[in-house]
Amino acid sequence: MNIKAFKNNLSGSITVPGSKSHTIRALILASLAEGKSYIRNPLPSADCLSTAKAVPLIGADINLNLSEESQPGTCWEVTGAGKNIHIPTDVVDVGNSGSLLYFLSPILANLDGWSVFTGDNSLKSRPITHVVDALNQLGAFSETTVPNHNGCPFVVKGPIKPGVVSTPGEVSSQYISGLMMSGILLNGELLIKLSNPKETPYLTMTQNWLEKVGVPVWISDDFKEIKVKGPVQINAFDEVIPSDWEAVAFPLIAAILTDSEIVIENIDGSGTQGDDAIVDILKSIGAEITWDKENCKLFVKGGKKTSDKIGRLSTENCKDKTLKVKMSSFPDAICALAVVACFTEGTTILEDAEVCRRKETDRIKVLKTELSKLGADIEETEDSLIIHGHSPLNADGSENKNFILHGGTVESYDDHRMAMSLSCLGLALPKNEELLIKDAECCSVSFPKFYEVMNNIGANFI
């Protein structure tokens, strides 16, 4: 499916789906628990549904409470496998979900027998040898099935044993979370030593979930050591999934780049999602955003709807008049921030972002490629993007002749965050310019019905 985006303004209220990161953790922990758990406000995205399809293979039972139209309901019931957890009864196809792959493989490495993992073509390009090495350190036998290929298909045979595992940590936080969850089934203490931990808010999220279900976890202040002690028989739970900050980013940036005024509802103020840092980053360049934490709402104004009726974004108040953002704690925001930087007067450096090369696609490379097609001035380094942006308006509200972004045709690379970010960019293009985003349906991975939801507040994607 291709989507066309062109100049439009937004108004009204929007609610984004529940968090993918929270939903997948909840599904897996509920599958390990004894009894029936209730997961409310889950994200019915492709990755989460892949998880719901996978965990019955190890003994859990899931009721998605489907509607008459076969759409997942707003409360999912999971009867956990508990002490009856077993080796998967089939190959575990994780689809496009790196989270599912990296979470579940360390957990199943506790079991005496073979587990086989595969996924779609995009997933097969994501690295796995760091997981293989970590599990083998703990006594498993694991390897990729294709010689000289760092990716799925991949097999693992347990059981692993308590002890110490040393691993870099910068490739992804997801397998570290998987190792932490594997500690539930271990008969003893697991010590994880990380030489270069990244995406640390997600490790804190995993810690919070484990502690919520009674699993002892300790993390050092620098995140270089993590201890988990098992075994722990966890009980069923009833939890509400908070809104997804990774999804909040898209209506948020669309509004500040256009003459818009919107309210984003059901905002998660718990601090467990690192992506909420985007609010202060955008405010530092002049975005008009008010976060009502008591009522869980973001009030967002852009362009002519702002207090000064201009809404110009600029790095002039940043140190050295340059916006520098370390992306390692919330790398999934790089697509949205790169788009905003193209409309911001001054230089933006999205740095410490090497992990972004190992997502659904090499996001550093493809952002440079696709945004350059539209006239953006971007440099690429090994671990950063340097964007020399221009606001469409000068400080006095007059037209900025240096702003030269234009429409065209761009690729999504089947990457949901690329598709949504580029679609939002199209809304801010000059009048009579149009952007065609190819293979845009991939947004269903994290934000089902994104285009319909955005159209309800005026995006007019077609």
Helices (H), 383-456: 416-427, 450-455
Structure tokens at 381: 């380094």
CB 416 within 8 A of CB 444: yes
Q: Annotated catalytic residue: which of 332, 352, 414, 415? A: 332
In 295-395, which residue ranges form alpha helices assigned H by DSSP? 334-342, 363-373
Strand order from edge to edge, sheet including 61-63: 61-63, 75-79, 36-40, 238-240
Distance CA 169, CA 224 (A): 9
Residue 37, classed as helix, strand or coil, is strand
Q: What is the DSSP string of 332-357?
A: GGHHHHHHHHHTSBEEEEEES-GGGG
SS3 382: coil
Q: Which residues contact 17 (CB under 8 A, 6 or more apart)?
A: 43, 44, 45, 243, 244, 247, 446, 447, 448
Q: Is 332 a catalytic residue?
A: yes
Amino acid at 446: S
Q: Phi and psi dihedrals of 363, rounded to 5?
A: -65, -30
Residue 70 burial class via C-beta count within 10 angstroms: exposed 0-12, middle 13-18, buried 19 and up: exposed
Helix H segments across 117-227?
A: 121-124, 129-137, 174-182, 200-212
d(CA 206, CA 70): 31
Measured distance CA(214)–CA(234) in Å, rounded: 7
Q: Are 449 and 459 in contact (CB under 8 A)?
A: no
Catalytic residues, by residue number, are 332
